[in-house]
A and B are shown apart, each in its own frame.
Chain A
Amino acid sequence: MLQVKNIEKYYGNKNQVTKALDRVSFDVAAGEFIAIMGASGSGKTTLLNCISTIDTISAGSILLDGVDISGLSDRKLAKFRRERLGFVFQDFNLLDTLTIEENIGLTLSLNHQNPKNVQKQVEKIAHTLGITEILKKFPYQVSGGQKQRAACARAMVAKQSLLLADEPTGALDSKASKNLLEIMTQMNQKMKATILMVTHDAYSASYASRVLFLKDGRLFNELLKGTRPRPTFYHEILDVLAVLGGDISDVI
């Protein structure tokens, strides 16, 4: 459902030009759980931004659900985003003036859904993700893990096809991270959510069924979990990272 074909991205700032992505190509099938790993500066956040239509690519094409998004107008892109994409960021990005329930319901409101049904739908997905108790609270009143779960709920409440996560466990402690990753696995398996996760953490990446490695803007390796258990996969990922020269492992 996602096809990335030879995309390039240049960043220009007066006289400085950086090539953030260099002919990256890959496909994602529906229901896959993919992780993109790379050090900071490897271009993974740029890649995510380009896929999520927030940023435009300098060359190549991206097809989401068969639609080439590089040619769409801003209005259509916005529509696309709110109907098909869900986001989970590292620093939560919940609006701090809204309650948790309202943050989740915001997506539905943006999609001009019937206001009467919004609360019900929010409660339903909150129940699935186990955050019903905090619905009436404000973001600053709940823990990091709960905030991330709320963000996941927001990303899925409108039955979006693709969930994009940018370092979701970046600001969580290990227990909350594990919790979140298990929830994401649950979302992937039970709710058939397609998840694209960007991370620098091998542990998080091991939850995915497929890991793409980015270095200096290029895809230099890919690992498939297949039928192997997660710990084995985790070790294989570490091996790849070791090959990279240890600069990623330092970040961990």
Chain B
Amino acid sequence: MTLSKLSFRNAKRQTGDYLIYFTTIVLAAALLYAFNGLTFSSELLTLSKFMETLPMMIVFASIVVVCIFGWLVSYATGFMLSRRSRELGTYLLIGLEKKEVAHLFFLENLMVGGFAFLLGLLLGNFLYQVLRAILLALFSCPYHFTLAFSLKAAGLTFTYFTFIYLLALFKSRWHIHKMKIYDLIYFDRQNEHVIVKNSKSRQRLFTFSIILGIVGTILLLMENALIGILGAGCIILFLYIFFLTFASGVPAFFDRQPFRKYQKQNLLIYRTLTAKLGTMGIVMATIALLFTATLISQGTGLIFWGIFNARSADKYCFDLYADSERPEGIPSEYLDYIEQNISVEQSLLYCIYQRESNEFITYLQKNADYYPYNQKDMVIRYSDYQALRSIAGYPNVTLESGEYLIHCQRYLKNTLKNHQPVIHFGETTLSSAGIHTEPFMQNNYTTGNGHGFLLVVPDDAVSALAPHHFSYAANTTAPVTEEQYEALDTIRNRVCENIDELYDSLHTEANEKATVASMTAISIFPLYFLAFALTMTAATILTIQQLAECRHYQTQYKLLQKLGMDRREMAKTLRTQFSIYYTLPAVPPLFISIPFLLHTANATEPGIMVGAFSPAMIILNTLLLFFFIYAIYILMAYTTLKRNVLPENL
């Protein structure tokens, strides 16, 4: 009976002392519950047939997340256990058996974990609603507030949670088993003197590691996948060697320039930092690695979203579109089906022609990021163009005789502005009357309304031109349903069975949107789930380490107070110490992930990564989100430490 009371009191104290850690565990439970709730929600899974793969992705992510949180919990409990060595030693001293101490510890963690779990479930419910709202918004569905509780999700979370704590409990049980009373009671004394290994070889390793990092980043940016992996390996090596030899490399620098030590508060900051890093080099490196993984996964998520969005935006103009490169034109099977099953408001069967010259293509190839899928410039009749504009819902444009229009993708506009020559069609000479850039199905490789650009000429100018392919565009009274799309697709498969290369294209706006939403959900949700878990874990570990130094800082600042240090200077020293300590593991990841993300973003086809999804914006968003979470931890740790560490009397 008393043992459980003692456990309870210890549990309360642990929660108080390590509040930030406790909060992270609560958030972990909330995250797990919320994300896994998605997998059990029939409402959400039936939004589109692609959504069926979501549960699997979430489960994958959950497993990784469980491993990560498991590492966090095991690290933290081990850390806390070693900090309480004297207390444990006292238990053994007064006669408690090791078995009982282990049981005590187990109960205590059970209480803390259980409490965290329950709180997490409560929070998780709200978080689940948030996710649900976002998901419904992606599919443009309305959101109605409910507070449904999913027992299945709770059960799954419970299982995950148990796994998270399992590793930790085994480790601590083993640790307790190996304890010796003497070691425990005099634990503090052992740790007093940090022996900073300061050999020349370590200093050289330090400089070497920096070189390794730069080389690794350059390699990572190469096109070759194999070299990229080599680069990644270099970077991992760099991270570990850097942090392990930091404690030797920096003092060497200051030894050569001693007067820098005594400037402002450099002395204290540098010595405290090296002392800390001397003991946690590996952890720092692992954290840096985690951060890199976070940034890359977050950034990649955003890149995917950008790609999905941009690619499909191009195809939203027509409710229904099909084209075929076959000389016969659009197969009648499509048209029959459409006539019978889909209520069409306005439709157009038309043809895209190609002219003799590839003047525009050559120009674009030379002056813009343009891949020429076709050999000749594509042309359309003005009347068809007008009709298409009306189907797509765009305002009318006029074309006088003797003029031509260019319709191109937005990113090509600036290039084409400088190239609006007079073109000849037989005897007719046409001069440019302007450029339009609304989304117009111009990213469909060889077909569509021209790849990237389309020339709009008066109807009679095309008489001498050969058709390139035939298209059908329509807008419907209601969005084309999934079943209708399925049916059309089946027909297409049947029709195109025998013809290998000339595969018809078929697009509906509704289908595109659903695909985008699903793909976004499937890729982004797990990635961000992972990213949150990684950031939280890394930040928590850093913070636990920092807060554990409370006692040491207290004595240090008490002495400084006696020596006459200003409170403001003390706060400044603490702040600087903090910033450097938290910046160190965050800087290498920045240097690694930014080039990587830039590179990946630029690898997609041109014209996709623009506007809100331009590489710059993606990187900005990734960094903002990452630093937002990081900053919260830092500020919380700072306010806690500041309150406890700076002497009261001031």
Beyond A97-B275, A105-B262, A115-B261, whether A75 also contacts B267 by CB under 8 A is no
A110 at the binding interface (Cβ < 8 Å): yes
- Contacting pair B559 A95 (CB below 8 A): yes
CB pair A106–B564 under 8 Å, yes or no, is no
A182 within 8 Å of B by Cβ?
no
User: B559 contacts A52, CB within 8 Å?
Assistant: no
Inside 8 A of A87's CB, which chain B residues have their CB? 562-563
- Is B567 interfacial (CB 8 A cutoff)? yes
Please tell me if the beta carbons of B559 and A79 are within 8 angstroms of each other in the complex. Answer: no
Q: Is B567 in contact with A110, judged by CB distance below 8 angstroms?
A: no
> Interface 1/0s, chain B 250-267, versus A by CB < 8 A?
000000001111111101
Q: A70-113, CB under 8 A of B: which get 1 and which 0?
A: 00001100111111010100000101111000100111111011
- Contacting A at CB under 8 A, from B181-236, are 192-194
Give Cα A55–Cα B568 distance, bound, in whole angstroms. 19
Give the residue of B258, B556, B649 whose beta carbon is less than 8 angstroms from that of A95. B556
- With an 8 A cutoff between CB atoms, is A116 at the interface? yes
Q: Does A220 contact B (CB under 8 A)?
A: no
Chain B residue nearest to A164 (CB atoms) is: B562
Closest chain-B Cβ to A57's Cβ sits at a distance in Å of 13
Q: Which chain B residues (505-562) contact chain A, with CB distance < 8 Å?
A: 556, 559-562
Taking the complex as formed, is A174 at the interface, i.e. its CB lies under 8 A from any CB of chain B? no
Residues of B within 8 A of A98 (CB): 267-268, 271
Number of interface residues of A (CB under 8 A): 35
Q: Contact check, A140 vs B259: say whether CB atoms are below 8 A apart.
A: no
Contact with B along A25-67 (1 / 0, CB 8 A): 0000000000000000000000000001011100000000000
Whether A102 contacts B267 by the Cβ 8 Å rule is yes
Residue pair A96, B258 in contact (C-beta under 8 Å): no
Given known pairs A109-B262, A115-B259, the reply for A82 and B275 (CB within 8 Å) is no
Please state if A54 and B649 are interface contacts (CB–CB under 8 Å): yes
B272 interface hit (Cβ, 8 Å): yes
CB distance from A154 to the nearest CB of B (A): 8
Pairwise interchain contact B562-A115, C-beta atoms closer than 8 A: no
- Closest Cβ of chain B: how far from A16's Cβ, in Å? 18
Residues in chain B near residue A109, CB distance under 8 A: 261-265, 267
**CB interface residues, B 618-650, toward A, < 8 Å:** 649-650
User: B261 to chain A: closest CB distance in Å?
Assistant: 7
Q: Which B-chain residue is minimally distant from A160 (CB atoms)?
A: B564
B369 within 8 A of partner (CB):
no
The verdict on A119 contacting chain B, using a C-beta distance below 8 Å, is yes
In the complex, which of the residues B559, B562, B564 contacts A80, with contact meaning CB atoms closer than 8 Å? B564
Known: A95-B559, A98-B267, A102-B267. A75 touches B260 (CB 8 A): no
Report the nearest B residue to A122, measured CB to CB: B262
B565 at the A/B interface (Cβ < 8 Å)? yes
B359: Cβ under 8 A from any A Cβ: no
Does A118 interact with chain B (Cβ within 8 Å)?
yes
Q: Do the beta carbons of B566 and A78 come within 8 Å of each other?
A: yes
Tell me which residues across on chain B come within 8 A of A56, comparing CB atoms: 649
Known: A98-B271, A109-B267, A115-B263. A75 touches B566 (CB 8 A): yes
Minimum CB–CB distance from B113 to chain A (whole Å) comes to 36
Instruction: Name the residue in A82, A97, A119, A140 with the highest tally of chain B Cβ atoms < 10 Å from its Cβ.
Output: A97
Query: What is the CA–CA distance of A54 and B562 in the complex, to the nearest angstrom?
Result: 7
Neighbouring A residues of B559 by C-beta, 8 Å: 93, 95
A115 touches B260 (CB 8 A): yes
A87 to B193, CA, bound (A): 24
The residue that B262 contacts in the complex, of A96, A97, A108, with Cβ under 8 A, is A108
Contacts of A154 in B (CB 8 A): 563
> Smallest CB–CB gap between B232 and chain A, Å?
35
With a CB–CB cut-off of 8 A, which chain A residues contact B264?
109, 112
- Give the distance to chain B from A232, nearest Cβ to Cβ, in Å: 35
Q: Return the contact of B563 from the options A74, A107, A112 (Cβ within 8 A).
A: A107
Cβ contacts under 8 Å, A55 to chain B = 649
Q: Are A115 and B262 in contact (CB under 8 A)?
A: yes
Q: Which of B258, B265, B567, B649 contacts A119 (CB 8 A)?
A: B258
Instruction: Give the residues from 122 to 147 in chain A that come closer than 8 angstroms, CB to CB, to chain B.
Output: 138, 140
- Residues on B with C-beta less than 8 A from A96 are 192-193
Q: Is the CB of A110 within 8 A of B259?
A: no
State the Cβ distance, A81 to closest chain B Cβ, in Å: 3
**Cα–Cα distance between A112 and B264 once the two chains are bound (Å):** 7
Please, which residues of chain A bring their CB within 8 A of the CB of B650?
74, 78
Evaluate contact between B565 and A110: CB separation under 8 angstroms: yes
CA distance A133 to B213 in the complex (A): 40
A79 touches B259 (CB 8 A): no
Task: With CB as the reference atom, state the residue of chain B lying closest to A119.
Answer: B258
**How far is A140 from B191 in the complex, measured between Cα atoms in Å?**
12
| A83→B563 CA distance, assembly (Å) | 9
**What's the Cα separation between A105 and B563 when bound, in Å?**
12
In the bound complex, residues from chain B placing their C-beta under 8 Å from that of A138 are 193
* Closest Cβ–Cβ distance, residue A148 to chain B (whole Å): 15
> Known contacts A54-B649, A97-B271, A98-B267; is A78 also within 8 Å of B564 by CB?
yes
Contacting pair B259 A118 (CB below 8 A): yes
A109 to B275, CA, bound (A): 20
B291 to chain A, nearest CB (A): 27
Q: CB-CB < 8 A to B562: which residues of A?
A: 52, 54, 81, 87, 93
Q: Which residues of B contact A110 (CB under 8 A)?
A: 560, 563-565, 569
In this complex, which of B260, B265, B650 has the most chain A Cβ atoms within 10 angstroms of its Cβ?
B650
Q: Which residues of B contact A105 (CB under 8 A)?
A: 261-262, 267
Nearest opposing residue in chain A for B257, CB measure: A115
Q: Which of A199-228 contact B (CB under 8 A)?
A: none
Report which residue of B260, B267, B268, B650 has the largest number of chain A beta carbons within 10 angstroms of its beta carbon.
B267
CB distance B259 to A78 under 8 Å? no
Does the CB pair A81–B259 fall under 8 Å?
Answer: no
Q: Could you tell me which residues of chain B, from 168 to 191, have a CB within 8 Å of some CB in chain A?
A: none
- Whole-angstrom distance between the alpha carbons of A54 and B446 in the complex? 83
Nearest-neighbour CB distance to chain A for B578, whole angstroms, equals: 16
Apart from A78-B567, A102-B267, A105-B267, list 6 A-B contacts with CB within 8 A. A74-B650, A79-B566, A81-B564, A93-B559, A95-B268, A110-B560
13 contacts between A and B (CB under 8 A): A52-B562, A78-B650, A95-B268, A95-B271, A98-B267, A98-B268, A105-B262, A105-B267, A107-B563, A109-B267, A110-B569, A116-B259, A119-B259
Question: CB within 8 Å of B: which residues of A?
Answer: 52, 54-56, 74-75, 78-83, 85, 87, 93, 95-98, 102, 105-110, 112-113, 115-116, 118-119, 138, 140, 154
A-B complex: 10 closest residue pairs judged by Cβ atoms? A82-B564, A81-B564, A115-B262, A115-B259, A118-B262, A97-B271, A109-B262, A97-B275, A140-B193, A116-B259
